[in-house]
Amino acid sequence: MRVRAATVVERDGPVILDDLDLEGPSDGQVMVRVVASGVCHSDLSAITGQIPQPLPAVLGHEAAGVVEDIGSGVTTVSEGDAVMLSFITACGRCRYCTIGKPNLCRPHWRSARGCLVDGSFPMSKGGVRYNLMSRIGTMAERIVVMENSVIPIPASTPLRIAALVGCGVTTGVGAVLFTANVEPGSVVAVIGAGGIGLNAVQGAVLAGAGKIIAIDVRDEKLAHAKEFGATHVINAAECDPVEAAIELTDGDGVDYAIEAIGNPRTVEQAFNMLAFAGTAVVIGIGSGDAKASIPIAMLPYGERRLVGSMYGSARMRVDMLRLLDLYAQGRLKLDELVTKTYPLDGAPEAFEDLKAGRNIRGLLQIHDA
Ligand SMILES: [Zn+2]
Ligand SMILES: [Zn+2]
């Protein structure tokens, strides 16, 4: 089968729309007609190499669609089911899956990158294998992925909304709810008010945080943060955000600082603005050799904690469905995240807009349903 896909073939190269050959689904695999795929900053990091990504590759890791075909042995979905994609393929039986950390699934993180966890490459062109971003490569009309990469969702869920839960929403909201376990009434700072940071802000609203302090260098992003529930904003281009955050908390510092950028300086700021017993959570993915410098005495003095969060520490098959349920109840603002929709062929423009920071979230609408 021929499918159109948004690809990148060389480091820092352009986003290219191409027609690829799609094989499968084989044993344990499913074919999904992709309805919507979000455009995430990590897609850009896969192009630049900030996230290690073998090339050529099909981009995209935040999507939802409809199952079109299943391989032998597939039992959890059938043709016609609505599904969202998990960008981590959890085996369900390794030591991490077994201790309730499917987001750290061993085969997903430890086996060769770019292919499905069973080693196959469903997409190719002229005999050249195409890698798949996050083992799913969702910016394509149709994809073949492992059964363990798809999560069935209620048929009533708008698929463009389910797509967003595939990465940005779960990563941001989850960092607050599932990694930090924010307590009602506590003070939460969110550094970086982009797509992920805004979801951390609304996670803090859900958790019942007392003060929610959004920090960014762009006033329009801070305005968005207020719409999503920030009670205070700090423009870090105009002042020292650490001093400003400590001032807003009567000299104590914040209980939780969520870093949604992946920059050494903002990681340091997140740590340095913590109150006693405070927790800094790093969501942003820095480049492999980036290092931050923190005063280590602050760890024991005041029992501060510095932790990382991958995929919002979500147990995907439970927590992502809970987030969809919260949306259905009107308690998560997800429609408001999508500021521009593009056809699949609009992917190059969507990436330009991403680089320029024009959208909260851009979304490729690949099929109507
Ligand atoms: Zn993402
Ligand atoms: Zn596993």
What pLDDT score was predicted for residue 369? 82
**Nearest ligand for residue 93 CA:** 2
Q: Which ligand is nearest to the CA of 98?
A: 2
Q: What residues contact 202, with CB distance under 8 A and at least 6 apart? A: 172, 173, 228, 229, 332, 333
- Could you tell me the pLDDT band of residue 140, with boundaries at 50, 70 and 90? very high
Q: Residues 307-311: what's their mean pLDDT?
A: 98
Q: Which ligand is nearest to the CA of 46?
A: 1
Per the document, the length of the chain is: 369
Ligand nearest to the CA of 262: 1
Residue 135: the pLDDT is: 98
* Dist. CA 161–CA 337, nearest whole Å: 9
Q: Which residue has the higher pLDDT, 369 or 320?
A: 320
For residues 188-203, give the mean pLDDT.
97
Cα-to-centroid distance, 172 and ligand 1 (Å): 10
C-alpha of residue 165 to centroid of ligand 1, in Å: 10
Rounded to the nearest whole angstrom, what is the distance from the C-alpha of residue 168 to the centroid of ligand 1?
A: 6
- Residue 14's pLDDT is what? 97
**Alpha carbon of 61 to ligand 2 centroid (Å):** 19
Query: Which chain residues have CB less than 5 Å from ligand 2, an ion?
Result: 91, 94, 97, 105
* Confidence (pLDDT) at 90: 98
Cα gap 31→71, rounded to integer Å: 8
- Asked whether 189 and 197 are in contact (CB, 8 A), the reply is no
Ligand 2 mean position to 25 CA, how many Å?
Answer: 21
Distance from residue 177's CA to the centre of ligand 2 (Å) = 22
Q: Which ligand is nearest to the CA of 88?
A: 2
Q: What is the pLDDT of residue 18?
A: 98
pLDDT of amino acid 287: 86
Alpha carbon of 362 to ligand 1 centroid (Å): 12
Only one residue has tokens 């939780």, namely: 256
Note the ligand closest to the C-alpha atom of 45: 1
Average pLDDT (160-168) is: 97
Neighbours of ion ligand 1 (CB under 5 A): 40, 42, 167
Confidence of residue 138 (pLDDT cuts 50, 70, 90): very high
- Within 10 Å of residue 76's Cβ, how many Cβ atoms? 14
Stretch 139-143: mean pLDDT, rounded? Answer: 98
Per-residue pLDDT, 320: 98
CA 5–ligand 1 middle distance (angstroms): 18
Rounded to two decimals, what is the model's pTM? 0.96
How many percent of the chain have pLDDT more than 70? 100
**Rounded to the nearest whole angstrom, what is the distance from the C-alpha of residue 257 to the centroid of ligand 2?**
29
In whole numbers, what is the pLDDT of the chain averaged over residues? 97
pLDDT of 288 over the 90 cut: no
Q: What is the dihedral of CA 311, 163, 31, 115, to 10 degrees?
A: -40
Percentage of residues in the chain having pLDDT higher than 90? 98
Residue type, 287: S
Domains of the chain plus CATH, in order, are 2-166+333-365 (3.90.180.10), 172-310 (3.40.50.720)
